[in-house]
């Protein structure tokens, strides 16, 4: 088993390190299918098509397809439901109203003899990731406690960010070999529960330029400015059963995390029409380079414990706060680059079908400190645990009349995590005092929509359903106890209704 990530400043509240870890970087590197209603209705399969505000952020060459200027605004109404299957099944949900997309495209024709038919520029905003959800997980009769994890980290590997909390809450005690043991009795069982509230998202401003060469070759580039806004509130509660030698007790670990970041990237793209019906597209997205800031707060409460100073139990029915730590941390991160291959076929004036294939190498993620020095240990774990993954999107549009079109799409986003991580029970580094992490599995999308055009005005509507599976761990458990499931199966389902209002001029 590989060496643990050792954190400095143990037992020093004012200097607790809260650097992000591998699964936190992954969370900020993943994307959803959001944007304009037309784009979402076709599950984002627009890489070879263009002519859509959100498609410009995928392949900037699609901006050159515009032959007139355009403005568009897309609000979104979404519901996120989560179902966790652990020792018990729990469900929760959250609703939100967001702006999914808005922007402006300016199109300018050149003189008749020019090899360039038109030159376009665009400014657009797209929400590319949504973090909003509530999660509830319940465990019963568990053989392993978070206290075991805390003591093992310190005894075997020299450090634990949570030992200070557990010690001040009387949850651990010193042993004869200068280490610590949990106060649990031999074979004592515990119930645990985790509740998380996540909010925020990732948005991107795209400043794009593109040109159209004879309506055969389209090329463009885009400067992307991304912003991350993530909020987490988590509560982990553990209650012991008690044994002949120990009384039942409980503790609660609360964490609050606010993460903000600003990043920049560059996108290059091309679309080629060898024949009028066929379009081939390619786009390359560089990594996004982020400057990040975490602001955090952590507390631990306990009850049902004897006060070792007086030998008397603390009064029942009251949670006592062990300690509280807060602070902030600056760092840098780099997301993976992306290559997008696309093909589309047009059936005269009746419609078209389109296919996109993305290749994203998540091993290329990088974590650095505030001064730009790479974190060799975390970056090594990223290379061990992640892989290059594929995203496949398929969509089509059928024109019922000159004014009304129907659209549908489906997509599959492959898990970026190597299967060996769970098969080998590989240790996973988590950030600061947040012991939980989720192992991303595949994500699926189904979508449909309708569009209406009348003169310069257009109105599009889309309904999207996203299905995502995740293996959620309250904490890493290195034991191989076959009687306990180590993770909760977490199903997150999002249903989004989008409406785009647009004007061509």
Higher pLDDT, residue 299 or 109: 299
Is it the case that residue 9 has pLDDT exceeding 50? no
Q: What's the pLDDT score for residue 481?
A: 57
For the chain, percent helix, then strand, then coil, each to nearest 5?
10, 55, 30
Q: Mean pLDDT throughout 345-370?
A: 95
Confidence class for position 305, pLDDT limits 50, 70, 90: confident
Q: What's the pLDDT score for residue 480?
A: 58
What is the enclosing helix (H) or strand (E) of 496?
Answer: strand 488-504
Confidence class for position 7, pLDDT limits 50, 70, 90: very low
Q: What's the pLDDT score for residue 193?
A: 96
Higher pLDDT, residue 448 or 377: 448
End-to-end CA distance of the chain: 63
Of 44-53, 303-312, 458-467, where does the model show the most confidence?
Answer: 458-467
Q: What's the pLDDT score for residue 15?
A: 35
Rounded to whole angstroms, how far apart are CA atoms 496 and 505?
29
Q: What's the pLDDT score for residue 410?
A: 98
Q: Mean pLDDT throughout 51-57?
A: 89
Question: How large a percentage of the chain has pLDDT more than 90?
Answer: 69
Take residue 365 and report the two structure tokens written for it. 């993620």
Q: Are the C-beta atoms of 232 and 197 separated by less than 8 Å? A: yes
Secondary structure (DSSP) of 354-409: EEEEEEEEGGG-EEEETTS-B-HHHHHHHHHHB-EEEEEEEEEEEESSSSEEEEEE
Cβ burial of 75 (10 Å; 0-12, 13-18, 19+) is middle
Instruction: Using DSSP, state whether 344 is helix, strand or coil.
Output: strand
Largest CA distance in the chain: 95
pLDDT in tens, 382-420: 999 999 999 999 999 999 999 999 999 999 999 999 999
Residues in contact with 192: Cβ distance below 8 Å, sequence separation at least 6, in sequence order = 138, 139, 142, 145, 146, 236, 237, 238, 239, 474
**CB hemisphere CA count around 405 (13 angstroms):** 24
pLDDT in tens, 266-292: 999 999 999 999 999 999 999 999 999
Alpha helices in 21-83 (DSSP H): 22-29, 37-41, 55-58
Is it the case that residue 246 has pLDDT exceeding 80? no
What is the enclosing helix (H) or strand (E) of 153?
Answer: helix 146-157
Q: Mean pLDDT throughout 306-334?
A: 79
pLDDT in tens, 120-132: 999 999 999 999 9
Is it the case that residue 245 has pLDDT exceeding 80? no
Torsion angle, alpha carbons of 505, 124, 287, 365, to 10: -140
Q: Mean pLDDT throughout 463-487?
A: 85
Question: How large a percentage of the chain has pLDDT more than 70?
Answer: 93
Average pLDDT, the chain: 90
Q: Mean pLDDT throughout 108-128?
A: 85
Q: Mean pLDDT throughout 372-377?
A: 92
Instruction: Using DSSP, state whether 281 is helix, strand or coil.
Output: strand
Backbone angles phi and psi of 151, in degrees to 5: -70, -40
Domains and CATH numbers, the chain: 13-504 (2.40.160.60)
Is it the case that residue 220 has pLDDT exceeding 80? yes
Higher pLDDT, residue 187 or 355: 355
Q: What's the pLDDT score for residue 1?
A: 32
Confidence class for position 447, pLDDT limits 50, 70, 90: very high
Which range, of 152-156, 193-197, 294-298, 368-372, averages the lowest pLDDT?
Answer: 152-156
Q: Mean pLDDT throughout 334-362?
A: 96
Is it the case that residue 21 has pLDDT exceeding 70? yes
Higher pLDDT, residue 178 or 123: 123
Q: Are the C-beta atoms of 281 and 342 separated by less than 8 Å? A: yes
Rounded to whole angstroms, how far apart are CA atoms 318 and 296?
25
Residues in contact with 2: Cβ distance below 8 Å, sequence separation at least 6, in sequence order = 381, 384, 426, 427
Which range, of 12-16, 52-56, 279-283, averages the lowest pLDDT?
Answer: 12-16
């Amino acid at each position: 088993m590989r060496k643990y990530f050792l954190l400095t400043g143990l037992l020093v509240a004012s200097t607790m390190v809260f650097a992000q870890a591998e699964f936190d970087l992954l969370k900020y590197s993943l994307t959803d299918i959001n944007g304009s209603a037309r784009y979402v209705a076709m599950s984002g399969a627009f890489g070879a098509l263009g002519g859509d505000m959100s498609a410009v952020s995928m392949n900037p060459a699609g901006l050159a397809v515009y032959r007139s200027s355009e403005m568009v605004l897309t609000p979104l109404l979404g519901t996120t439901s989560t179902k966790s299957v652990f020792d018990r099944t729990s469900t929760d949900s959250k609703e939100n109203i967001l702006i999914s997309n808005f922007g402006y495209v300016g199109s300018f024709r050149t003189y008749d003899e020019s090899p360039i038919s038109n030159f376009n520029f665009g400014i657009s905003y797209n929400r590319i990731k949504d973090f909003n959800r509530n999660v509830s997980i319940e465990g019963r009769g568990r053989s392993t406690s978070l206290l075991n994890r805390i003591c093992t980290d310190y005894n075997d590997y020299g450090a634990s960010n949570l030992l200070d909390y557990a010690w001040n809450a009387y949850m651990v005690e010193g042993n004869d070999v200068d280490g610590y043991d949990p106060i649990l009795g031999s074979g004592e069982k515990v119930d645990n529960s985790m509740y998380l509230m996540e909010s925020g998202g990732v948005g991107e401003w795209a400043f794009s330029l593109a040109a159209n060469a004879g309506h055969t070759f389209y090329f463009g580039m885009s400067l992307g400015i991304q912003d991350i806004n993530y909020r987490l509130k988590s509560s982990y509660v553990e209650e012991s059963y008690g044994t002949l030698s120990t009384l039942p007790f409980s503790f609660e670990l609360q964490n609050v995390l606010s993460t903000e970041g600003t990043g920049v990237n560059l996108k290059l793209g091309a679309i080629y029409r060898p024949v009028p019906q066929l379009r081939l597209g390619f786009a390359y997205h560089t990594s996004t380079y982020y400057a990040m800031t975490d602001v955090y707060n952590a507390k631990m409460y306990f009850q049902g414990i004897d006060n070792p100073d007086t030998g008397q139990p603390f009064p029942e029915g009251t949670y006592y706060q062990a300690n509280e730590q807060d602070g902030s941390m600056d760092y840098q991160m780099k997301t993976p680059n992306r290559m997008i291959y696309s093909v589309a076929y047009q059936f005269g004036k009746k419609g078209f079908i389109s296919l996109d294939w993305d290749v994203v190498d998540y091993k290329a993620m990088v974590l650095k400190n505030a001064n730009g020095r790479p974190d060799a240990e975390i970056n090594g774990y990223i290379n061990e645990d992640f892989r290059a993954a594929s995203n496949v999107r398929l969509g089509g549009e059928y024109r019922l009349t000159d004014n009304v079109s129907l659209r549908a799409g489906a997509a599959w986003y492959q898990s970026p995590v190597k299967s060996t991580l769970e098969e080998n029970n590989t240790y996973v580094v988590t950030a600061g005092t947040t012991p939980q992490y989720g192992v991303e599995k595949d994500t699926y999308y189904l979508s449909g929509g309708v569009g209406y055009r009348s003169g310069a005005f257009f109105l599009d509507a889309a309904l999207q359903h996203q299905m995502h599976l995740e293996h959620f761990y309250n904490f890493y458990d290195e034991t191989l106890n076959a009687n306990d499931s180590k993770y909760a199966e977490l199903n997150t389902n999002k249903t989004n209704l989008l409406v785009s209002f647009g004007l061509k001029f």
